[in-house]
Amino acid sequence: MIRVSRSAIPASLKTAAAIELPKVLAFYGRQPSKSSWKFTAYREPAVAAELKRLFHKKCAYCESKMMTVQPIDVDHFRPKNAIRTGRHLIKPGYYWLAGSWNNLLPSCILCNRPNRYESGGVTVTGGKGNDFPLMGTTLPLPRYAARSRVYREPQLLLDPCGKVPPSKHLRFFHDGKIEPKPLRDGTPSPRGKATIKVFALDRTELCDARRDVALRIIGELERLEEEMQSSAGPNGARRRAYHLRALARHLTDDQPYLEMARQLIEARQPGFLTLLPDMLRYYWRDQAPPLHNFKRRNR
Ligand SMILES: [Zn+2]
């Protein structure tokens, strides 16, 4: 999961939501919570199209490339029909946010829909569904509330378009595994822990996919380290440029598991990521490169 700046609301969603919201509020103002409104505004084709563009056709939660094998689910980050937090299942959900652009994210089926999956050799239940855990024993807002109140709720799930960078709470490893990052006091981040559990970010197939990408990244980095330390002359410069570009390819926004790539490279060569754009420019323009003290490290 990486942080993404949300674009402006698609015009067709703005229009459709403005028509739908008063009807939704009236419906939930008089109906018991057993029935639910059939929301349609968020199904505007421009919504899925803009979310695909914004997230480069990746799942907002697991960063897998989706479009090869499945269409996207437009997920309501705050669930619209019901909210599961702790042992509570509360109806309705955040119905007034069903057509809110800030509440919509592109998700793969496995992150979004409840299902059983393998993790560490055991079968567990995961996939978001109606899950929206809050810290402690807090219960969600029961009815329509202003946006400022909603965003003050002590939510546990990390929002890819939120203020808090997911990188502060999620830690990736070169074998594809993921863990909640330790906080300052050494305890695992509760937000990281909840996010991993709810979106099943530790499912075996996903860990395997991340591991394969991690192996390629580490391989490219090792080759670059060797070239930086040994190559001289024009051929050496060409080889360094080749490996720099190969490594940089893993760091463009459209690549899967970008947060993992950043963490692996930063852990192995601290400071290198910030220099990489300048180094690439050097190799394109044939100018003096910025210095980076490449270190040989064990995997
Ligand atoms: Zn996903």
Ion ligand 1: protein residues whose beta carbon lies under 5 Å: 59, 61-62, 108, 111
Distance 296 CA to ligand 1 centre (A): 34
Q: Is 249 helix (H, G, I), strand (E, B) or coil?
A: helix
Distance 72 CA to ligand 1 centre (A): 9
Region of 73 (left: φ > 0; alpha: ψ -120 to 50; beta: rest) is beta
With a cut of 90, say whether residue 160 has pLDDT above it: yes
Q: What is the pLDDT of residue 136?
A: 78
Amino acid at 232: A
pLDDT band at residue 204 using 50, 70 and 90 as cut-offs: very high
Distance 6 CA to ligand 1 centre (A): 18
Distance CA 257, CA 173 (A): 11
Q: What is the pLDDT of residue 233?
A: 66
pLDDT band at residue 42 using 50, 70 and 90 as cut-offs: very high
Distance 262 CA to ligand 1 centre (A): 19
What are 120-129's pLDDT values in tens digits?
888 888 899 9
With a cut of 90, say whether residue 34 has pLDDT above it: no
Q: What is the pLDDT of residue 289?
A: 58
Average of pLDDT values for 90-99?
91
Distance CA 245, CA 238 (A): 11
The residue assigned the tokens 């937000």 is: 191
Distance 39 CA to ligand 1 centre (A): 23
Contact 44, 10 (CB under 8 A): yes
Distance 291 CA to ligand 1 centre (A): 38
Q: What is the pLDDT of residue 284?
A: 60
Q: What is the pLDDT of residue 299?
A: 46
Q: Which of 132-136, 169-173, 243-247, 285-289 is predicted least confidently?
A: 285-289
How many contiguous H segments (helices) and E segments (strands) does the chain have? 9, 8
Residues in the chain: 299
What are 59-70's pLDDT values in tens digits?
999 999 987 777
The pTM of the full predicted model, rounded to 2 decimals, is 0.90
Distance 272 CA to ligand 1 centre (A): 29
With a cut of 90, say whether residue 294 has pLDDT above it: no
Distance 181 CA to ligand 1 centre (A): 20
The chain-wide mean pLDDT, for the chain, equals: 88
Distance 196 CA to ligand 1 centre (A): 11
Distance 115 CA to ligand 1 centre (A): 13
What are 230-287's pLDDT values in tens digits?
766 667 777 888 888 889 999 999 999 999 999 999 999 998 898 888 777 776 665 5
**171 versus 153: which is more confidently predicted?**
171
Contact 96, 25 (CB under 8 A): yes
With a cut of 80, say whether residue 137 has pLDDT above it: no
Domain ranges of the chain: 11-161, 206-285
Distance CA 226, CA 247 (A): 14
Distance CA 278, CA 292 (A): 11
What are 186-195's pLDDT values in tens digits?
999 999 999 9
Average of pLDDT values for 26-45?
85
